[in-house]
Amino acid sequence: MKTILCVVMFFLFSSNASADTVAKIESILMFEQGNIVYIFPVGGVQNKPECHGSNGDYLSFSMARPMAKEYLSMLMMAFASQKTVVFRTARACVDQSVSDTILYLQVLND
């Protein structure tokens, strides 16, 4: 049991160090025709993949993803309360050809 607890604690405390982008949100854009949500982090995207950026400096995800509504809800809350968000990404342009795709996120209570 102690081993499992240690492993969980390691991943919790190392999540910021392994994050792809850590930032507050400057703006959120929803594009209905593409069914895509665009997140513009303050200071831009960190650790960009090669495919990223010819259309702007943002992260994105498809509203067709299984937890898209939960992502959007958390991101809107983080934006409204100006909380820092830890983004983990695919480091590839999966949902949109010119932006890194969000895989999961964490909102920090700062």
Q: In this structure, what CATH number is given to the domain that contains residue 85? A: 2.40.50.70
List 29's β-bridge partners, or say none: 38
Average pLDDT over all residues of the chain:
86
| % of the chain at pLDDT higher than 70 | 84
Query: Is 13 within a domain?
Result: no
| Residue-number span of the structural domain to which 63 is assigned | 19-107
In a domain, 85, yes or no: yes
* Inside any domain, residue 4: no
Element (H, E) at 59: strand 59-62
Rounded mean pLDDT, 9-38: 78
pLDDT band at 13 (very low <50, low <70, confident <90, very high): very low
- Please report, as a single letter, which amino acid is at residue 29: L
- pTM as predicted: 0.80
Mode of pairing for the β-strands spanning 100-107 and 59-62: parallel
Cα angle for residues 82, 14, 42 (degrees, 5° grid): 25
Residue 5 within a domain: no
In a domain, 63, yes or no: yes
Residue with structure tokens 């200071």? 43
Domain count, the chain: 1
Residue 62 lies in a domain: yes
